[in-house]
A and B are shown apart, each in its own frame.
Chain A
Amino acid sequence: MKIVVCVKRVPDTTTQVKVGPDGTSLDAAGVTFANNPYDEYAVEEALKIKEKTGPGEVIVISVGPAEAAQILRNFLAMGADRAILLKETAPGRDNFGVASALAGEIKGLAPDIVLCGKQAVDDDGAQVGAIVARLLGMPVVNTVTKIELAAGKAVAHREIEGGHEVVEVSLPAAFTAQKGLNEPRFPSLKGIMAAKKKPFEEKPAPAAEPRLTVIKMEPPAKRPAGRILGKGVEAIPALVKALHDEAKVI
């Protein structure tokens, strides 16, 4: 099995977001970047599938700045076989721009399986996996918590409101990983050493005409300052009154 996993470098989830001087993007000063958490599930699943199905290759690929090389190395240390960085010089690529760059590169690799995270926790689109899949002419199963392979087919469980769909697709196919799919392994010291010698390819990401342009970024609307109504059960009448009179929700 040849498996391609799309991975993204994102701000750590504890980041306090500040709008940058351009007014349209994140102020990256002082921000720590990390693997997109959902992509860790995707890479883990790829490694598991490879371990189960015998000889194969796990290729990690990212569209991002030169610094994104670090997260590709993190995934090589986890066990991926080689990495491709499609370097971009300006941020702000929309989800089609990312997907078309990825699909262009993945096409030449002719994988059996493409894995993505269900969502990148920076722009929170949850769209790139499906766009890549469609551009490659593959079916996609989004937000999966289980993948079972059998003779050119896959059956995947996909989370929906209050339950899950059991979806059958023929391979090649794409999947986007939801939490619960597996427990990502930690890179071992040996893995970290080995990662330094694994093939690492870098090339410029092809230009893409923008479809969606951010014209403004702002902090979210501030919530009005809250009130402590009191201590323990004695505060209950005040809460019921506030919910009735002010919030008008009951």
Chain B
Amino acid sequence: MTGNQDAGAVEREELDPRQALGIIDQQRRRAALTEPSTALVTGAWGAAWLVGYTAMWLSAGDDGAPALWAGALALGLGVVAVVTTIVHSARRSHGIRGVSAVEGALYGFAWPVGFAAQGLIVGGISGAGAPPRAVAVAANSIAALVVALLYIAGGALWREPLLYGLGVWMALVAGLAALAGVPVTYLVMGLAGGGVALVASLVVGVRARRAHRARLAGAPA
């Protein structure tokens, strides 16, 4: 045991308080790799909305209905964003169990639930005889509202300012998109929804990376 203690004593001497705090900070950032990057996930969704909805707006005919190709593109981009979110989150949280994993699973489950409800409501509105333009407005805005409220909930749960802020913004976009009517509603969703989400995510992501580099450069050798 004496040998071990001696080795420990040598190790202790080498570690000053500033270095120790540096190590703690460094490991905190390493451990952050076990959580999904909000900037990456919201960025992927922002890009999908920006391109998908803008294509729907561009292709909309006189009746306000988007072309089939644009709808298919938007749907395809949505699928890509879903897969990106799931793969990224699974990779980051691999090997981690406990309260955070349970929270994440419960939160994740809220998304298909929210969109299932959105689908049923839109079906109901359509079934009640609403004209296609009204159905389109409701479908878009209710979807945006589901996203908005879940972003707000996630932002509150994990204290993520980007997620919370985008949630509040998306709620406003959902309202404004409804007022804009078809087909301008698609443009509002694409630019104000997707575009703003993409830009905000890029700004937050680049800033975090820069701060990380600055800290690495300033860290004691």
Do A and B actually bind? no
On A, residues with C-beta under 8 Å from B are: none
On B, residues with C-beta under 8 Å from A are: none
